[in-house]
Copies of this chain bind each other. A is one copy, B any other.
Amino acid sequence: MARNIAFNEEEAIQKAMDVFWEKGYKGTSLRDLTDAMKINSSSLYNTIGDKQELFVKCVKHYTEIRKRDLDKRLAGTDSPFSILVKYIDDAVNVIISGENSCMAVKAAFEVATNDKRVKDILKEDSDYAYRFLHQLIKKAIENGEISDEEDPELLADYFISVWAGWYESYILHKDPIKIKKMARYFIRQISK
């Protein structure tokens, strides 16, 4: 019988993800990847596949982490509105404290236009965030914390868009106050 694979695939993908996240798809060479993953290219090709395949797996990994995060936020006993506010606060803190932008946003602009698989994964990720926001907003409206004149579907889409734009703003201006103000404005607007 055969021996087992000597490297931990999930750990390796995590390492590869970090490199792709920083350098982008085209900006990352296979040597960058194998160096970070600490495996030989033959092992990579025998187990995971080629560069594209690896990238797809990294994006999938990235979105799975985000999915788990959203699930955890729903698991608590906080009110829908306070979950929402906490989520927005945390999103702002991730933007203004991280060196890098969101990998999903970067990949959307660089890769999703050419690679259907990546696009579908990111679309699924976006839809998941949409449903997360949508249900919270809907419940918050029922609780009377958000005005019933607001459209939960629209607001969910709207937040996802502003949030992506905040990353671009922060790349260019590196101004935390700007982002914080916009977040506060968004919350104030939807608050009854």
* A interface residues (Cβ-Cβ under 8 A, vs B): 24, 26-27, 100-101, 105-106, 108-110, 112-113, 119, 122-123, 126, 151, 154, 157-158, 160-169, 171-173, 178, 181-182, 185, 189
Q: Which residues of chain B have C-beta atoms less than 8 A from A173's C-beta? A: 123, 126
Nearest to A165 among chain B residues (CB) is: B161
Q: Which residues of chain B have C-beta atoms less than 8 A from A126's C-beta? A: 169, 172-173
- CA of A86 to CA of B100 in the docked complex: distance in angstroms? 34
Nearest to A186 among chain B residues (CB) is: B158
Question: Given the interface contacts A162-B165, A164-B165, A189-B189, does A172 sit within 8 Å of B108 by beta carbon?
Answer: yes
- CA of A11 to CA of B106 in the docked complex: distance in angstroms? 30
Nearest to A123 among chain B residues (CB) is: B172
Q: Are A169 and B181 in contact (CB under 8 A)?
A: no
- CA of A74 to CA of B189 in the docked complex: distance in angstroms? 29
12 A-B pairs with CB atoms under 8 Å apart are A24-B110, A26-B26, A26-B27, A27-B110, A109-B109, A109-B171, A123-B173, A157-B169, A157-B182, A160-B165, A165-B165, A189-B189
Q: Are A172 and B110 in contact (CB under 8 A)?
A: no
Q: Are A158 and B185 in contact (CB under 8 A)?
A: yes
Q: Which residues of chain B have C-beta atoms less than 8 A from A119's C-beta? A: 171-172
Q: Which residues of chain B have C-beta atoms less than 8 A from A105's C-beta? A: 109, 168
